[in-house]
Structure 1
C-alpha cells in the first residue's frame, strides 16, 4: 500500500493505492471522514486482482485545497471525482465504485449520471434516500451555528464521531491517527462546507434511476451504526433491483475498523465476478 499525489484542477490530490495499474480500477470514496476508512481492506483487494484507489477529496485527509459549500455538494463532488479519474489515467476502461457515508451518495450519483462506464456499485454504511444528514451534521446548516463554530470545536466533534463510528474501544494513538488531518484548520473548514451542503434531495432524486438500473449493487452495513440506520439498507435492497445486503454484526459506522477481512472478501467476490 502506497500513497501518491497528482494534481486535479491544479490542486495536489492524495490517494492510497495498492496492486497493479493494469488491473481493473476500484475507486473508493469517503464522506465526512477520509481515505483512512478504506485502508484496512486495500491490500486484500489488490491481491484479488483489483487496483483499489482510495482518494482524499479536496480539503480532506492528505489532499490540498479547501472546499466551499458550493463545491461540497454531491453533484459537484461527483464531477470532481470524474476529473480525478481522468487525471489518474484510466482511459476508457470501466470504473468499479464503492462509497462510504456521503461518499456513497457521490458514488450513487456517478453510477447513474457519470460519463464513465460504472458496471458495479458497492455502498458501505452510505447515505441514501432521506437517511441524512445526521443531527450531528444537520445543526451546522444553521448559519449562526456555523459562524460560531471554531476549528477546535470541529476537532472535538470529530473525535466524538470517530470514537462512536469505530464501534469498538480504541487506543489514544489510533484516535490521533484518525484525527490528524482535522488538526489543520483548512480541513476543518472543508468539513464544515460538506456539512453545510449536506442535503438528502440529492439522493432522493437518484432513486428512480437506481430502480431502473439492471446493474449489480452490493450493500455492506455495520449493523450497530447510529448515523446510517440499517433499515435504510433493508429498504434499498427491497426496492432497488439486483442489490444485496451484507450485514456486519457488532460493527458501527466504519465497519472496516472491525471486520476488514470479511468486508474485503465480500468485495473481492462482488467486484471480481
Structure 2
C-alpha cells in the first residue's frame, strides 16, 4: 500500500493522505485509490482516463466522513489484466465492478459515481439493479448518444487499431488530456495523466475500450433510468468540449430525481479545475 499526499480540503486548511492499494479480481491486481476508513462507501469509476481523475477530491470526501474508493478498471491505470473488445463493453465492465465490490466486501447501500464512460457503467449498474446503490452521481459522463467522441471513435476502425503505433497513440492521448484538463493543464500534470499509457498492455486495453464504445449501451438504459427512484446528481464542467452541457440539461429534464450542478470555467475533468466545488457538491448530495 502506498501513500499519496494531497494538500488542501474544501477550505484549503488541512492535509489529507490518499492511499493506493489493491485487491485481486479474476486473478489479477485491481488497483484503487482510497481515503478514510469508515463511513458510507463512495465507489468512483473512471472512463477513458484512470483513477487519477478522482485524486483531487478523495481526501475532501474522507474529511466529510465518507469512504471513497476510486478503482482502476482492468487493464487500465495501475490495474493488471488486459481488456479486449468483449471485456471492454459497458455490460462487461459493469460485471467486473460487481466482482470488485464483492472482493472488497462492499456490502450495504453505496454511493456510485461515474466520470466519462465510467458514467455509462454506473448507469448500467443502477438501471439493472446490479449493486445496492442509494445515490448516483455522473460527472461529465457519457449519456444518450453523446459518445463516442471523435478522438475515441477513430479507434473503432480495425485498420486504425492495426496500424497505430505507440507514439501516435500517446500523441493523441496527450491532445485529449490537455483539452480535458482545460485551465488546469500543466506539463507536469499532463505527464502524470499520460504515465499509464507508456505501458503497451494499457495502450492495448485503452484501444479495446475505444473499440467497444457504443452509445446503444446508454440509449437502452433510458427507460429504466426514467423509472428509477434513486436520487441522481449531475456535476458538469460547463466548458466541456467532449460531453456538452446540453446533454446534462437533457438528462436532468428527462430523468426524474435528478439535480444538475454546473461548474463554471471547468472542462471535462472538473475535479482538476475546481476540486473544492466538486467535492462540496458531492458531500452535500451524499451526506
TM band (smaller chain): over 0.9
For residues 213-259 of structure 1, give each alpha carbon's deviation from its aligned partner in whole angstroms, at most 9, with x where no partner exists: 12210000011111100100000010100101111111110001110
Partner of 1:52: 68
Q: Which of 206, 212, 218 pairs up with 1:197?
A: 212
Matched ranges for 1:99-178 at <5 A: 99-168=114-183, 170-178=185-193
Q: Does 1:39 align with 2:55?
A: yes
> Runs ≥4 in structure 1, deviation > 4 angstroms?
none
SS class of match (2:86): helix
Q: Is the 8 A contact 2:109 2:133 kept in 1?
A: yes
For residues 166-218 of structure 1, give each alpha carbon's deviation from its aligned partner in whole angstroms, at most 9, with x where no partner exists: 01153322211111101001111100000000000000000001111122100
SS class of match (2:92): helix
In structure 2, distance between residues paired with 1:151 and 1:194: 16
Q: Is the 8 A contact 1:151 1:189 kept in 2?
A: no
Matched ranges for 1:65-84 at <5 A: 65-84=81-100
**Structure 1 unaligned regions, length at least 5:** none
Q: Is the 8 A contact 2:184 2:272 kept in 1?
A: no
In structure 2, distance between residues paired with 1:102 and 1:115: 17
Please identify, of 141-150 and 81-90, the stretch whose mean Cα deviation from structure 2 is larger: 141-150
In structure 2, distance between residues paired with 1:236 and 1:142: 29
For residue 57 of structure 1, report the CA deviation from its aligned partner: 0.4
In structure 1, distance between residues paired with 2:167 and 2:80: 20
SS class of match (2:281): helix
Number of residues of Structure 1 aligned to a counterpart in Structure 2: 270
SS class of match (2:183): coil
SS class of match (2:147): coil
For residue 114 of structure 1, report the CA deviation from its aligned partner: 3.4
Q: Does 1:220 align with 2:266?
A: no
Superposed CA RMSD in Å reads 0.9
Partner of 2:21: 4
Q: Is the 8 A contact 1:99 1:122 kept in 2?
A: yes
In structure 1, distance between residues paired with 2:145 and 2:215: 5
In structure 2, distance between residues paired with 1:115 and 1:28: 16
**Structure 2 unaligned regions, length at least 5:** 1-17
SS class of match (1:133): coil
